[in-house]
Structure formats: C-alpha cells, structure tokens
A = this chain, B = another copy of it.
Amino acid sequence: MDVAVILLGVGGVGRAVLARLGRAAPAVTGVTFRLVALVDSAVILTAAAPPGGAPAPAAVAYLDAPTLDAAAAAKAGGRPLAGLAAAHPVTATARGGGGDHDQGVLLALAASAAAAGATPLLIDASASAATTALLVAAAAAGVRVVSANKVPFSSAFSAFAALLPAPGAADDGGARASRSRRLVRAESAVAAGTPAIAALTRLVASGDAVTHIVGCFSGTLGVLTTAVAGGTRLSVAVAAARAAGITEPDPRADLSGVDVARKALILGRLAGCTTAGLADVRLEPFVPAAHLDAGGGGVDAWLAALPAADAGAAAAVAAAAAAGVVRRYVGAVDVAAGTVTVGWVELAPDSALAGLAGSTNAVVVTSGSYPRGEELVIRGSGAGVDVTAVGVVADAVELAHTAAVG
C-alpha cells in the first residue's frame, strides 16, 4: 500500500524522519511511504499545484528523491524551501497568515491522495504551538496523524481528547477512542522513540488500572544531573551542555521544567487524568525560581548570574549522599488524585530511576497488574533526532495498517 506523507517541519527531526522513511523496507513494513508535501514556516512544497475545489479530485503527485535530498540540504544549510522552485519540479505555495488557508490546502492534498487510492498521513515534526488545530481537523477528516510535537497534546484537554485516547473524558460510547486508536500516534512526543506511550496505551486498553507514573523525561536535564552529581559546578555543566548543543540556545527553556511538565501531562492524560492544561501542572523548576529569573532577561546575563546557584546545587547533592538517597528531577502522575507534578525527588539507590545516567530516559508505571515493587519500566534514549524519527516511523507503520474511519 502507498502512504502519502505530508511532513510539517523540515528541521532536524523532520530531516531524520525523511531519511528513515526512505530506508523503511516495504518487505518489512508492508508499506511504501512517499512524500506529497514538505511544509516549513513559509511554504507548502508540492510536486504539482495543490488541488482546489470540492470534492477533491483524485490526484496524487509525489516529490521525487532529488527534490527531497535538495530540500533536506537546503534546510540543513539554513535556506528556505521556497528556493527549490527554481531548480526542481515543485510548486511552493506561500503559507497564509491565518491557519485556515494552510489547513485548506493540506486537507485538500490529503483528500485528493485518498481519492487516488493512497492513504494520506500528516506527520508533525515541528515544535510549533500552531499546529494543534490542523492536527485536530485532519483527524476529524479521517486523515492519519503522527506527531513528534508535544505541544498539541499538552495544551487544552479538549485538543488532547480529540486526538489521543483519554480515559478520563466523558463516555461517548467509544467513538472517540476508536478514532484515536485508528488515526493518531504520538510516541515521540515523550522520551523520543522509546515506547513509553505505546506501553502505557496498551496497559490502559487492557483495562489495567494505572495508578502512578513517574519518570525522567529530559535527556538534557539528565546530563546536567549526572554532571552535578559527579562534582561539576552547575553553571559549568550548563555552559558545557549549551556549547555541545545539548540544551536549547536559551537553557532556561530546559531548566524551567516546562518540557518535562508537557511530557508528564501527556502521560497523565493517557492514564485518565483530565488536567485542564499545562498551568495545572505543579512545577518546581530544575533550579530555584530565583535563579531562573536572575540576570535581567538576556541569556548571557542569565548565564553570568548562574554561578550563584552552584553552591545550592552542590549542597543538595551532598545532603542526598549523606542521607543515602539519589536525587532525580522527575515528572510524576497520581491518577487517583488527578495530579501531575514536576520537581526533585529523593529515591532509594536501587530504584529504577536512580540507576539512570546521562541523557537516558525512563518511565515507571504502577498499576493493578504492575504493583509497587514490580512496576513496568521502559528505559532508553530520550533525545536526539534519530531516535525521535524511530518513534515517528514506527507510528507511521502502525497507522498504515489501521482501519479507516468513515
């Protein structure tokens, strides 16, 4: 079968997805993936002019391999997709100011591909906060959606429940659950391709009562935790990680804990929490708030002020060592209480999370069938564009074999 892919985002993750889709062997997957559109922040790049009118005509035109290679090279070099139109057989449609224009173009592309016998698939490899409405509209139209972007699932609960199985949502007889299970996957939104969401979704589907989830969901903060536990000063560790490209350009985006909060919120909602939004997560930042806000705004001034946090971080490590415990920065879900919490905890040295080092992620699930002491543990790399693409392509293969939603 042919899957017609619309790829949102041609950054590091998007390019890794492109490369991996090209390598996925039809003999193993039962699927042939082909690209119908690449979308960056400026244009929608297609092999032919996008279809207009309704009903959508039966038509699908795929971007050829030289175009895909050139697109990846352009984006890797910081150049826009729009520039490809000069040398390749493509149409670059400028994205509109509002979401509706783009959504209309992309859903018409999907409908035309479906009418031509292909299975349309929208992949969100962006980190944009603006794709949620498109993803919801696509799923509502029966278009399959894979997202590595965590924002659509960690904002309003209504958007989550429109996309992924939400056991806490009102009982609608299973129509929404059926749609979600057939049309939407988001493994790489949490812990990259490490199958935390797949494992949790399976437990919930089986009727197992998930009670608690706790995990280390940030490779970046894991690297910093390991460095500081090993005696490196926090400010030095942050500067080194930033220089190595491990943190965001502004490390406060990592140290705020918001990324961890988004991931914990997603897992909590999958387990039955109905947490209204990100603001409802109880969030203790990785560094005390006073240090997160120090320096007066700019990243350089903030970095210059960060050494003031070093003594506190070192003292916390020393106190934990003296107490025979291990400190970990975790996201935690208490399903019965309906709470999602992010912050520092102290763990026994033989616990699953205490054994982590560096960027490795782990998720620990407690349930009726996996009680305390016998929890389900999923551990593996939680960062990097390649392992993120692993999750995206595995999701895409699953959706290629699901039933359509009428």
Contact = CB atoms under 8 A, between A and B. Distances in A.
A336 interface: no
Contact of A181 (B24, B178, B193, B397): B397
Interface in A123-181: 165, 167, 171-181
Contacts of A171: 27
A205 B379 contact: no
B26 A390 contact: no
A63 B171 CA distance: 26
A401 B399 CA distance: 10
Nearest to A374: B381
A202 B346 CA distance: 33
A30 B175 contact: yes
A381 B394 contact: no
A380 B370 CA distance: 7
Given A205-B394, A390-B203, A394-B205, A177 B28 contact: yes
Max chain B C-beta neighbours (<10 A), residue from A32, A359, A390: A390
Copy count, this protein chain: 2
A interface, size bucket: 35 or more
Given A178-B1, A360-B374, A387-B370, A26 B207 contact: no
B352 A379 contact: yes
A304 to B, nearest CB: 34
Given A198-B195, A390-B369, A205 B374 contact: no
Contact of A355 (B24, B350, B359): B350
A49 interface: no
A195 B202 CA distance: 8
A30 B401 contact: no
A350 B356 CA distance: 10
A212 interface: no
A182 interface: yes
A207 B377 contact: no
Interface of A: 1, 20, 23-32, 165, 167, 171-182, 187, 193-195, 198-199, 202-208, 350, 352, 355, 359-360, 368-370, 374-381, 386-387, 389-394, 397-398, 401-404
